[in-house]
Structures are given as structure tokens and as C-alpha cells.
Structure 1
Amino acid sequence: MAYRRGAGTSCGTAQPHGNILWRALTIFFLFAAMSFTAVPQVAQAQTYTISSFDVQGNRRIETSTIIARTGITPGQSVTAGQLNDAYQRLLDSGVFETVELTPRGNTLVIEVAEYPTINKISIEGNRRVKDDVLIQAISSQPRRVFTPQVAESDADKIAEIYSAQGRVSATVIPRIIRRSDNRVDLVFEIAEGTTIEIERVSFVGNRAYSDRRLRRVLESKQANILRTFLRGDTFIADRIEFDKQVLRDFYLSRGYVDFRINSANVEFTRERDAFYLVMNITEGQKFSFGNISTVSEIPGVDAAEYQKALKIKPGVTYSPTLIENSIARQERLGLKQGVDFLRVEPRVTRNDRDLTLDVQFVLTRGPRIFVERIDIEGNTTTLDRVIRRQFDTVEGDPFNPREIRQSAERIRALGFFSVAEVETREGSSPSQVIVDVDVQEQPTGSLALGGSYSVSDGFGIAIRLEERNFLGRGQEFGLTLSTAQDSEQYVINFAEPYLLGRKLRFDLGFGLSRTNSSFASYDTKSVFFNPQISYAIGELSSLRLRYNWNKSEMSQQDDEVNGAVIASEIAQGKRSTSSLGLAYVYDSRLGGLNPNAGVLFEVGVDAAGLGGDNKYFKTSTRAIAQTKVLNEEMTLRASFEAGALHWQGDDFSRAIDRYVLGPSTFRGFEPAGIGPRDLSNGQDDAIGGNYYWVARFESDFPLGLPEELGLRGGVFYDIGNLYNINNVDTTGANIVGADGSIRQVIGVSLLWDTPFGPLRFNFSQAVKKEDFDKEQNFDFTIQARF
């Protein structure tokens, strides 16, 4: 026990430690209590019971509308958060400049200050863009509520219009002028700034083509000495994307399948008054077509027959356009053979060793999807049928995505619409599609004023009124009035591209022409009427069936003595011609296999005698071949044309019925400067000939000058002949040159592409001619529209 007691004594002797423990527990509980008392009590959210409203400051907006906008109903208990939501709803309505909500007992006081209404809108400081254009672009309108956000947005829209014209430094500031009755005048103050030009366009990474050649591809141009008239050198940001696309198309069409544009950087010059445009490109290697084959995965379809439909051959420069055209040919063949849902899949195999691409056209069966309908929207003037006839597909036909894409391109190519979107969506079932066509029309009429000058006809002026979508029917109508120093012409033209709903083009011309040339001893007057029907018989060829009626006469010029031939022809008076003709035309310059070369061939025959006074057969032919060499810097062109007149009947032909050559046909001579002539009565009358032929060889090339000047040089060589005067009344005449002789001319040209129009200066020298020929060593022509 003692032990225990000792033990207890021992515990007793440890009393100080027990006091420490007790104190520690006391302090702990004290701190715990203080901690709980230090934590603030959670405040109960204050609520308001709203039984009535007091709306103040509103003039235009009804009180009931404002109360409804808060979302609070009488008798509702609302919290401060709900009041804040009501405040925000009123502010977001966009009609109040300030809003204040104040609960007073059971009444909610709503104080508002309404935005003013716009009394009128004014544009100040604009000289380059008319008020009407800017007003149509903005959202603010008179008698509507003014809001600063909308005004700022409108200022940005106006600035974008100026930026699209190259005035990227233009600033637009919206200001208001307070008026009575809470109205304001909205004024847009514009500082147009100066046009920012493109000082230089350069390329990095190009080897196959020079900077000069690539600059000709782009829409953006370098600044030049004609910058006052030229708009192409103005910097427009959106144009850069277009330039990148056309540059990509340029290289791809020439076989550079790996071409890419790494960057297109636009930087300010040091003076910050112009831009540098630098395009960093990678050309890659040029590829040609290798093996071309066709296989069929459709039972019963002969691949060999489809292979024959292809035009591309091994060795031809690769182009995606040629692939697309080949697919179209094979699919058209499938339609003719009744193979529905035919799809042609090109499979390309790359051969890096010999830089060729093998193409295998695989004939497969596509999904069984039909066109349910074609919906057209947005056209207010243009008739639906004008748009529908651009589709080779109609409702119920098998759906062909490629054909729909081509139809969309044809709609855009009409030029009737500023926007033409063609999209497809699922129809009433998964096996049907609906084709949606959404268009926005644009003006299609134009009034053109033109000027011209030539050594032959002198100065002239032309006025042309043209409508390309006449009455919304897709027809063309034009009225042309042209007068020159020695000639004048008045013509009415009409064209129907789809005669009787078919791909037959019908052209009709009716007019009056007069000449009073200083190069002839007689005047002429003619009334003509010439309808024509054209239709395609192949991808690059067409036939033209034409009719021509005209009544013409020759008259003596004042104080002019005529030779015997011309005098007898003037004495014939008015004579009429009624002829029917047929012409075949083949043109590969735009749609051929080579984008740098092409051929035009045309041959025709006209027979007169279906009524009228004159009877004859007239045959004509024309051929032109051209190509570009030296990285497409130089153009080589060769042309040949010939004609033969076989006069029938007992009457004599006249000079205006026979061929008379001018500088546009044979350079180096005056109009009617070569061929048979009548020297009787002391005169020197050109009387023309029944047969002629002319061959022209020419080239144009850069002169090493900055290309923005638009100057190029050229050389040419012409050779030809004009002869034969059968069925000509030669009584009392003194004829020379009837048997003809070959003439040859060499010359140089200066070509200047200006904003006024293309100018051409020809300097020539006859290498071989006759003594009686009328040489013309200089010829200058200009044509312009303004």
C-alpha cells in the first residue's frame, strides 16, 4: 500500500506537470471558443416584396413594356441578385442610356434615360466615295434609336469600304449633335487619307519563271507612272488571297504539282507610304503525264471504249484541268450508253525518277442517289429557266457531284449575279438530294463610251448601250453608234444563247454604215441584216449557219473624177445581196491541252442568189497558231487567211463586192494600197480583186523595261497577194496588177498597254512591192473605253 501511496506520493510530487496539462486544456478550449465567436454569422439574403412600380424618365417606351422587361411581377419577393438581373435586362434592351432600380418599401422605383432617336445622318469629309454608297453600307437609320455600339460598327464598315480602295489609313469618327425632344444628328467625320500603293511585287524561290512573268499573273500590280489612272497598284488586302489562288492555278496548270506558297508578306516601306509584297514560294519539279489507262469495275462496261474517249497522251504537261475534262468525257459517254451512276475515279501514281504521273481512270458505280428538286432563291429579275438551263441535270436524274460543281461555275460565269452559291442537302429520303441555288443579282446593263484612232479612219468615237440580261431572259441586246473621220456605223445587236431552249446561239444584227474614205474616190452606203445560228459539234469546234441581206450603193465624191471601172460601178446604183453561208470553226487556244499554245481554224462558204441582185459563191479560210517560249516571255504567232470570189450571172461585180485589203490584213500599205488598179482618166483607183491570200508571222517580247510601264516590242513579216478581176467591167479602163504579184513587208512594233487602251505603233518597210502600190511605213492605232 505504501508503495501505492508512494506511488501516489510520487504522483503528488508531479503536481506541477498536472497543472500544466490542465492549463493547456483550458487555453485550448478558450481559443476554440474565441475561434467560433470570430467566425461571422451567415447573413440572411435581404428580400423585397414588390407590390407596385414607379417608372420615371421614359418618353417613348411604354411603362408596361419597361415593367414587363424587368421580369418582376407585383407581389413577388425578389432578392438583390434578382434586382440586378432585372437591371441587366433593361440595359441589354439597347434603348436605355442609363437605368437605376431603387426599392422603396414595397415600391420599386425604376429611373431610365432613353437613348435619343436619330434625326438625320450626315457624311462629312468624303470625296472619293459618294454618300449613297456609304449610307447603304451602315445600319443606323433616321427615326431609329441611336446606340454608340451601332455607330461604332458603322464607322468600321465605312473604313472597310475605304480600305478596299487602298486607303487603309482612312479614319472614321461618329459624332452626335444634340437636338430637342431627345433627338440627335449622327455625323460620320471621315479623313480619307491617301491611297497606299504597292511599291514592289517580288518573289522568292522561283526558278522556272521570272518575277516579270509571275507579276503578269497577279491582280495586284506595282505602282507606275500612270498611277493616277491605274487602280491595280492599290493595296487591297482581300486581293492578296485571290492572287495566291491564281498563282497556284498558274503553276498547277503547268505541271508543278508540288507547288506551294510558303508566305505572302506585306510590309510598309521605310517612309510608310507604300507596301512591299513578297511571295515566298516553292515550285517543285515539273511533271508530265505518263501511262494513261482505264479500267472498269462495272460488269458489262468496256474500258477500252472509254479509253478512246480520252484526249490526253503521255508526255503532255500534267494539269488538273485536263484530268477534270477527261472525267467529264467519260461520264458523258456513260450517259449516252445508259450507264447510270457512273463515277470515274482518277488514281495517280507518281514516278519521281522520270518526273511523270501515271493516271488510271477507274470506272465505278456510285451510290444510287437521285436529284429530288432544284430550288432557286434570290433572283428577282432573272427568270428561273435562265438558271436552270445551266444544269445538265434535271429533277429525277442520277446525282453527279461533279456535274453540279460545273453547273455552279456556269451560273457564276453568266455575270448576272454578285453571289451564286450552289449547295446540296438530303431530300425527303437518304437516296435523294435537293440542290439549293442562292443568288444575288447585280446590274447587267452598261453604257460605254469609247475612242479610237487609226491612220486609216482617223479619230473616232463610239457609244455602246448594252444589256446582257435583257428582260431577265439571259438575252443580249446592244446598240452601237460609232463615228470616225472617214466612216460611221449604227448597229443594233440581239443574241439568244438558248434558242428554243436548246444549246443553239442565235445572233441578229441590223444596221447602217457609211464610208467617206480619203483612200478611195467613192463613198459607200449600206443597210444590212444578218441573223446567225451557232451550235457546238465538239468540245472545241462549232458550226455557224448565217444569212446576210444587204443593200448597198457606191456614190461619187464631191469634185472627184473617177476612173472607168469605178464610174461604171457607181452607175449601177443600189444593189441588194441575199446570201446563205456555213462556217466551221475549231479553236483550241483556250480549251486545248497546252495552256501556252493554241490553234484557230475557220473555213466558210457563202452563196448569194437566193433573191437579190448579186449572185456569187464566196469561200474563205483563216488559220492562226500561237505559242509562248522562253518561259512564256515571248509570243510567237503565225496566221494565214485567204478568200475567193466566184461571180455568177451576167452582171458585173463591184469594188465593194470584191476583196480590198487594209492595214489590219496586210501591214505596210495604205487601205486598198495593193492589188489591181485603174489608171484611166488620170486616176489611180483601187478596184480590188477576186482572190487573195496573206500570211503573217510575228513575235512580241519584253524590252527589259519595268513591266509596270506596259511596254513590249515586236517584229513582223507579212507576205501576200491580191489579184484577178474576172467579171469586172473594164471598158475604157487602164488596168495594172490584174495578174497579181507577191508583196513582202518587214517591220517592228511597239506595243503599249495603257489604261486608255492598247496602243500599237507599227514601223514597216516593203521588201517587195509594185511601183503602183501605196506604201505606208507607219501605222498607229488606239482603242479605249472610258
Structure 2
Amino acid sequence: MHGSVQDPRMMRARGGGAGATASDALTAAAWARRGLVSLALLMVLLLAPGAFAQGGSGIVIEEIEVRGAERVEPEAVRRAARLRAGDEIDDRAISEAIRGVDSLGFFSDVVVRARPGEAGVVLLFEVVEKPSIRSIVIEGNSRVSDDDILEAIPLREDAILDESLIRQSVRRIEDLYREKGYYLARVESQLIRVDQTTVTVRFDIQEAQRVRIARVSFVGNDSIPDQELLRFMQNRPGGVLDFLTPFGTFSRETFRADLQTLRSYYYENGFLDVSIGDPLVELSHDRTRLFLTIPIVEGEVYTVSDVSVTGDFEHLASQEEVMALVRMEPGQQFQVTTFQEDVRRISDLFRDMGYATANVNFYPRQDPATLRVAIEYDIDPGEIARIGRIEVRGNQLTRDRVIRREMMIMEGDQYRVSDIRRSERNIFRLGFFENVTIREVARRDAGVLDLVIEVEERQTGQFQIGAGFSSYESFVATAQIAQNNFFGRGQSLSLNASVSSIRSLFILQFFEPWLFDTRWQLTLSLFDTQELYDNFDRRSRGFRTRVGYPLNRNRDLVATVGYNLENVDVRAGGRRGRSSIRFAALEEDGLTSAIETGLSWDRRDNRLFPTSGHFQEVTFEFADSILASDNEFFRTRLRSRWFWSPIWDNWVFKLNAEYGYVGSTNRDKPVPIFERFYVGGPNSVRGFERLSLSPTRPVGLSFSPEATTFDYPVGGNQQLIFNLELEFPILEAIGIRGVVFADAGNAFDNNEPITLRLDLMEDADVSYGNLLRTGAGFGIRWRSPLGPLRFEWGFPLSRLESERPMVFEFSIANPF
């Protein structure tokens, strides 16, 4: 043999297991410390000469057995060990295998034994599973309820004991008390053994007096006033509604962050020599109020004199290429955010080339005499790296593969920081997790980095019941039962119902984002809807199916194709109750059999509550007799939506533009009236009644030649809609936001050219039928546990006599 053969016969991940002695088991730490040659293993090898690899010094694994795994699959242990039959092993491989199995977090003891086989060594992994949690007991809490504490901690009854989650629970409980002003509260945990397989986790809480901030004072801030600095502090006096906000209570942890935020704000304004001294903290006599005094020495404002880049990098990128990324320029006032962005962009340039440890050092050379600063960015690319092992932690319900398939980078790939960030963003956008973090862990192997995906699961099941009132629909009731992570497979299943005086909606929908673990997507839905238009009722029952496929690596450009089958029943009546009217278009109902194709491009930062990015979509629907459809038409829709925050991050501008066209596929039949476009309402042009904007035609109230006629809304074959919103915070801590909006749109008939002219810019018209109708208003939105609630008041800007001066709408949905 070449080198030494160390004993993999018995090694433990932790010593002290049941029945273990120093003579028959060694801990992993003791193994590495002693490095002995095992006489027992040598005897195994003498009995199994085929245990050695041909021409090598390694020991060959013939088989791997697992004993003691009851709740954990044996295959999961083998995967964690990263060993398989035919591999050569040594002490290092065994040590890594033990560490891998132990990192699963399910075992209190891991022992590896060896015995001779016919063609190698048979390894036996003996594991002792951790106990499960029988119950969670909380003692000493009077100011915070058990329910609030249990909701805040990640521990759950019947789960496998995870000591890291106990430590995390202690921190969560202390944080919960700090949020409520009890920043001196202390929490201790204790494990109580119930039997061999279960334990009770007990938390003992020592509550302290609640402390509120009475005053925050600054000394020495000659250039920036107190009120400006207070805006950036979490620890500041509260107001009348401070029970709804995080302000008013003191937290030592966030106060340290406040001081750093103040320092950064001064740096952002060019005060490079600013100094923030130790704050003076005073308690009132009754120890319920806190007074903070923060001393500041501001210094002077600096201007940039020169910017340069140095370092050994020109074999990877030119000076010009790097300087093109730099936004700091001579002559401008120094800003810390600009230099931080410069460092990030330069670092990312090299990290996307595979240089995971690329480092950009920042050297400011200040000249106090001229109050100017020269900036030097020194670049050290480091060494190129590849991805080693990818591990998922924290997923109790969600399966590993649901998370792994969202990764843009795989084991063995060259390191790319942009792929890691996109992977983190993809996983978060699933909507299953409160937090997602991908940590990079350096290995001893040169040029190899492991990735650890840490997730914190959120509740994905929903049972919602809501009710409201609008000036148009009167009473509105909604209900939803949904599971957005069905059995942890990443699928969604939902049942939605909505009932009001003018419409009813029932939809059962299933969505599979990775059909058969491929990039194909599948949507299936069954529906039963009824809606009252002005003069007719539309009842529709059927199903839709759609498959989609991402066309790019980011999976945000998706092509879809689908099939719709529905039976449509149309009857005279509607909201006006004119059931005696006989109109030929109302006889054109029946079966609709249609195919639909589409292309969407989604670059929003958040699909539910976007603050930046855009969404583009085009769809085409085709229904014809060749598809056994009674109703024959084709329809095209285009949607463009943009989101940006040019003022502050939580003030969001939203722009939506939609165009639609519908035509007949049969020269002898017009487009069915119920497939034409009707505009107005909370999802199109607010300030007008739902579906009230439409071209009209004169129709008699009866068959008599002398019957009175009225304008019958027949819908348009085209529609054009624009929506502009500004959404802003009111009580951000509880998700209440305000909105102001302006809308424009209309439906146009075949003989009416589509126009961008607005009604408010024209003289009074009989109906404004060939103009874009405009409305504006305001509203309140609440991101409630029931979903996004909307309360909106809309006003038509050029109102006709027959139109309401104001329309109030309540709904449970995002506008766009």
C-alpha cells in the first residue's frame, strides 16, 4: 500500500451513544486526532483481498447498508453520505460521509461500521433518530399570549427535534417582546424527556417593564435638522397611532442600526469626517420612559477630485470596460450610495466570470485643505471557482426538488453571481417562503464553493370569506379555499366563489408549473359564471386547459396554447329587467369551442405587489365551426403594464394599457353580442358602472311599429383602456395604502375609428361614443389576511346626465 490506511471501521458523528465505549467506537474528532491504523480493519482486508482498488491504495465499497432509520428514508442517508458501491474510501471520505449524514439534522448519533465482503468492504451506517416534539410549553408570559408566541416560532408539535430551531425560537420570542417595548425580556429553553422517542420543549420567560421612547435629541447637527434625522430612525417617539406602527418603543439592536443609518446619511451628503459619539440613554424615575441624546460632529462636505481603478485584472477586462461601470465622477459631491453601487458593479463583472472571491477595495484620499477627495478602486479578481454541493435547509413541507428546479446554477457549474441571485429571486417568487437566502460556503478544496439554500416557510393554505358593499353591486360576498403548495409539490389548487346582485362566479383551478418535472406548465379550470349586463343575462359553464413553455433561461418569457369549451346561455332582461325585448343578437348563444395562444414577458419584481419592472402579454383566441363551435369569432388582446418608484421605494407608479379586437370568422354571422367588448368598472375605467360603456343601436321596447326606441348597448369590436395610478403608504406596518388614479377608455364599433381623443377635451356630445371616456378618483387598499381589499371612489370627468356622479366599488383583487 502507498501511504497509510486509517480505520473506517467505526466512527461516530457524536460520541457517547447508547452502548458506546472507547474500545469499540471513536468520535470523528478523536479519529482525526489520533490517525491510528486499525488492526481490525487490516484483518478485514486480509479476509477480503478484493477490497483494494486495482493498482491503487484505496478501499473499495461493495455495499452500503443503513440501520436505525425509521422516519427517514435509507436512500436519503446514502445521498447525504455521498458514497456508493464501487467508490474508493479513506479516513477523509468517511469523515465527510459522517458530516453529510449528520448535517441532515435528523440524527443524534451516527456510527459507521465495516465488515468484509466478497469484493470489498460493506459499510453499515447505524443512526439514532432524534426524538419528536410531544408538546411545547410556555411559562411566565402574561403580556404576550401563547398563540402569539407559537405563531412567531418555527417549532411545531410532532416535528423532529431540531436544536437550531429551538435557538431560533428563543430569539424570535425575545424579538417579539422587543417589538412590544419589553426590550429587557429574557427567554430560556429546556428539554424534558417524555420517553425514548419524544420530548417536551419548555420556554421560561422573564418579562420586564415596558419602555417607551419619550424624546430623541441631537447635539452638534448644525447642517441637518433634527426632524430630518429622525425620519431615518426606527427608535423615535411614537404618535397617536403608535400602536399601529413600530415607533415609540426602544430596541438596542435596532438602535445600533439607527446610528449606522445616521452615519450613512451623513456620508451620502458628503460629510466624510462625521463622527457620532456614544449616545446618552436616560430612564425616567418610574423606568417606563426613555430619553436619548445623540452627539454629532459633522465636519465638512467633500467633493470628488479624481476617480481611478487599479489592480491585476487587465487579462480579464480592459480599463475602459471597468471605468464604464463607474458612476462616481470628478466634480460631484461625494455620495456613499454611488460608491457602493460602483463597487457592486465592478465586483459583479468579475464574479460573473467565475471569480467568486473578487474583491474591490475602496481607497479615498482626502485633502482637508481643499475639501476634495480622490477615489481609487483597487481590484483583486482572486481565483476562479465552481459550485460544489447544493443543500436545502428549512423546508418542512416543500420538497427539495421544488426548490432545486428553480436554481439557475447547478452542482459542477462555473460560479456566476447573477445566476445565484436570479435563483434566490426565483425561489422567493414561488410565494411559499417568508425568507429565502442562498449562502456561499467555502470548502477546503481550492476553487470550490458549496451553496446552502435557507428558506423559511409561510402558510400556503388559505380559507377566506369576505363581504362588502358597492354603490353598483350592492352586497358582495366572496369565498376562497386554496392551497398554493399542494402536498409540497409546488402545485396550486383553488376554489373561488363570488356572489353579488349582478354576478356570480365559481371557479375550480389547478396549476402545475413543472409538468412531469419538465419546463412545461399546465393550467386546468372548471367554471360556472353568470353576469347581468344592461339588457341581457349571460350564463357560462365549461372548462379551460392551457399549457405553457418558457422560451428563455430566466423563465420570464412564456409561450402558451390552450383550449376553451363552454356552453353559453343568453337571455333578455339584465339589470334593466327588459325581458320583453326581442333582439336577434340575443338568439346567438350555444357552444363555444376555441383554441387560444399567447406570449407573455414578466419582469416584475413581485407578481402580487410589484414595485418595479413590467409585464407584456399578447393573446389570440379562435372559435369556429371547424372546432364544433356554435359561436364563431376570433379575438386578440394586448396588455402592457409598467411599475416604477421614482420618488421613494414605497411610492409606486403603475401604468396599464390594453387593446382588444374581436371579429367574426363567418361572413354570414356577426360576432356574438356576449363576446364583444364592454368597458367600465373597477377593472377597466373607474367612475363608470360596470360594463356600461359600449356602442349602442336603437331598439324598440316592443314589436309595435309605434313602440318607443332606446339605445341598446351592443358592445364594441374594439376596446382601448389606459390606467395610471400612484400608490402610497398610509399605515405601512399593517398594510394599509392609499391610491389616486386616472383612467381613460372606451369600446368602439366597427364603423367607429379608434381614437385617443378624450371626452373632457371636447364639447358636450350626445354620448361621447367615439371618444375615450375619462374618470379619476382615490381609494384605500389593505393587504389583509383575506387578500388585497380595494375601496375605491371613482368620478367621471365628463359626465352624461344618465351617469352617476360617483361610483364606489369594493373588491378583493389587485387592479392590475
Same fold, judged at TM 0.5 (above):
yes
Aligned residue number for residue 635 of structure 2: 618
Deviations 1:34-79 (A, max 9, x none): xxxxxxxxxxxxxxxxxxxxxxxxxxxxxxxxxxxxxxxxxxxxxx
Unpaired runs of 5+ residues, structure 1, are 1-119, 142-152, 175-185, 335-339, 728-735
Code of the residue aligned with 1:766 in structure 2: it is: L
Aligned pair 1:778/2:807, yes or no?
A: yes
Aligned residue number for residue 654 of structure 1: 672
Aligned partners of 2:469 and 2:232: how far apart in 1?
A: 27
Aligned residue number for residue 640 of structure 1: 657
Aligned counterparts, 1:134-145, within 5 A: none
User: Are 1:457 and 1:485, in contact at CA under 8 Å, matched by a contact in 2?
Assistant: yes
User: Are 1:416 and 1:441, in contact at CA under 8 Å, matched by a contact in 2?
Assistant: yes
Aligned pair 1:602/2:616, yes or no?
A: yes
TM (norm. structure 2) is 0.57
Task: Give, in angstroms, the shift of residue 536 of structure 1.
Answer: 6.3
Aligned residue number for residue 749 of structure 1: 778
Task: Give, in angstroms, the shift of residue 606 of structure 1.
Answer: 0.5
Aligned residue number for residue 688 of structure 1: 715
Aligned partners of 1:639 and 1:571: how far apart in 2?
A: 35
- Which of 562, 572, 578 is the aligned partner of 2:594? 578
- Which of 505, 516, 540 is the aligned partner of 1:525? 540
Change (3 A) 1:659 1:304: farther
Aligned residue number for residue 543 of structure 1: 558
Aligned pair 1:669/2:688, yes or no?
A: yes
User: Are 1:258 and 1:283, in contact at CA under 8 Å, matched by a contact in 2?
Assistant: yes
Code of the residue aligned with 1:749 in structure 2: it is: F
Aligned pair 1:484/2:511, yes or no?
A: no
Deviations 1:167-222 (A, max 9, x none): 62999999xxxxxxxxxxx9999998998777899999799999699869969995
User: Are 1:166 and 1:196, in contact at CA under 8 Å, matched by a contact in 2?
Assistant: no
User: Are 2:179 and 2:246, in contact at CA under 8 Å, matched by a contact in 1?
Assistant: no
Aligned counterparts, 1:250-269, within 5 A: none
Aligned counterparts, 1:245-324, within 5 A: 297=313, 299=315, 318=338, 320=340, 324=344
SS in 1 for 2:383: coil
User: Are 1:599 and 1:623, in contact at CA under 8 Å, matched by a contact in 2?
Assistant: no
Code of the residue aligned with 1:545 in structure 2: it is: T
Task: Give, in angstroms, the shift of residue 645 of structure 1.
Answer: 1.7
User: Are 2:442 and 2:450, in contact at CA under 8 Å, matched by a contact in 1?
Assistant: yes
SS in 1 for 2:673: coil
Structure 1 window deviating more from structure 2 (485-494 vs 311-320): it is: 311-320
Aligned residue number for residue 55 of structure 1: none
Aligned counterparts, 1:75-154, within 5 A: 126=142, 129-130=145-146
Task: Give, in angstroms, the shift of residue 693 of structure 1.
Answer: 1.7
Aligned partners of 1:138 and 1:696: how far apart in 2?
A: 42
SS in 2 for 1:653: coil
Give identity over the alignment, percent.
Answer: 17
Change (3 A) 1:216 1:374: same
Aligned residue number for residue 764 of structure 1: 795
Structure 1 window deviating more from structure 2 (236-245 vs 349-358): it is: 349-358
Change (3 A) 1:219 1:376: farther
Aligned partners of 1:597 and 1:125: how far apart in 2?
A: 39
Aligned partners of 1:209 and 1:535: how far apart in 2?
A: 52
How many aligned residue pairs are there? 614
Change (3 A) 1:471 1:776: same
Aligned residue number for residue 177 of structure 1: none
User: Are 2:685 and 2:775, in contact at CA under 8 Å, matched by a contact in 1?
Assistant: no
User: Are 1:588 and 1:599, in contact at CA under 8 Å, matched by a contact in 2?
Assistant: yes
Task: Give, in angstroms, the shift of residue 510 of structure 1.
Answer: 0.7
Deviations 1:302-350 (A, max 9, x none): 7599789979999998485686577657765x5xxxxx65876657687
Code of the residue aligned with 2:383 in structure 1: it is: P
Aligned partners of 1:345 and 1:283: how far apart in 2?
A: 30
Task: Give, in angstroms, the shift of residue 661 of structure 1.
Answer: 0.8
SS in 1 for 2:479: strand
Task: Give, in angstroms, the shift of residue 375 of structure 1.
Answer: 4.3
Unpaired runs of 5+ residues, structure 2, are 1-135, 158-166, 189-200, 702-709, 753-764
User: Are 2:303 and 2:373, in contact at CA under 8 Å, matched by a contact in 1?
Assistant: yes
Code of the residue aligned with 1:654 in structure 2: it is: P
Aligned counterparts, 1:706-717, within 5 A: 716-717=741-742
Deviations 1:524-572 (A, max 9, x none): 324331425263648796334242414142333679434867x434423
Choose 1 or 2 for highest CA Rg: 1
Aligned partners of 1:505 and 1:201: how far apart in 2?
A: 57
Task: Give, in angstroms, the shift of residue 648 of structure 1.
Answer: 1.6
Aligned partners of 1:505 and 1:219: how far apart in 2?
A: 49
Aligned counterparts, 1:560-575, within 5 A: 560-562=577-579, 567-575=583-591
User: Are 1:252 and 1:320, in contact at CA under 8 Å, matched by a contact in 2?
Assistant: no
Change (3 A) 1:688 1:406: closer
Code of the residue aligned with 2:525 in structure 1: it is: F
Structure 1 window deviating more from structure 2 (443-452 vs 623-632): it is: 623-632
Change (3 A) 1:639 1:157: closer
Aligned counterparts, 1:354-373, within 5 A: 366-367=382-383, 369-373=385-389
TM (norm. structure 1) is 0.58
Aligned partners of 2:237 and 2:482: how far apart in 1?
A: 30
User: Are 1:460 and 1:485, in contact at CA under 8 Å, matched by a contact in 2?
Assistant: yes
Aligned partners of 1:311 and 1:509: how far apart in 2?
A: 49
Aligned residue number for residue 448 of structure 1: 464
Aligned partners of 1:737 and 1:326: how far apart in 2?
A: 62
User: Are 1:172 and 1:188, in contact at CA under 8 Å, matched by a contact in 2?
Assistant: no
Deviations 1:407-443 (A, max 9, x none): 567656754477867452425x445454455667665
User: Are 1:661 and 1:672, in contact at CA under 8 Å, matched by a contact in 2?
Assistant: yes
SS in 1 for 2:674: coil
Aligned residue number for residue 724 of structure 1: 749
Code of the residue aligned with 2:686 in structure 1: it is: R
Q: Which fold has the larger relative contact order, with Cα–Cα distance below 8 Å and residues 6 or more apart in sequence?
A: 1
Aligned residue number for residue 166 of structure 1: 180
User: Are 2:351 and 2:415, in contact at CA under 8 Å, matched by a contact in 1?
Assistant: no
User: Are 1:219 and 1:243, in contact at CA under 8 Å, matched by a contact in 2?
Assistant: no
Structure 1 window deviating more from structure 2 (529-538 vs 650-659): it is: 529-538
Change (3 A) 1:430 1:460: same
Instruction: Compute the RMSD of aligned alpha carbons.
Output: 6.3
Code of the residue aligned with 1:680 in structure 2: it is: V
Aligned partners of 2:287 and 2:388: how far apart in 1?
A: 57
Aligned partners of 2:615 and 2:295: how far apart in 1?
A: 41
Change (3 A) 1:320 1:624: farther
User: Are 1:419 and 1:441, in contact at CA under 8 Å, matched by a contact in 2?
Assistant: no
Task: Give, in angstroms, the shift of residue 166 of structure 1.
Answer: 1.3
Aligned pair 1:240/2:254, yes or no?
A: yes
- Which of 474, 479, 483 is the aligned partner of 1:463? 479
Task: Give, in angstroms, the shift of residue 577 of structure 1.
Answer: 3.5
Code of the residue aligned with 1:459 in structure 2: it is: F
Aligned partners of 2:790 and 2:634: how far apart in 1?
A: 37
User: Are 2:679 and 2:685, in contact at CA under 8 Å, matched by a contact in 1?
Assistant: yes
SS in 2 for 1:670: coil
Structure 1 window deviating more from structure 2 (653-662 vs 441-450): it is: 441-450
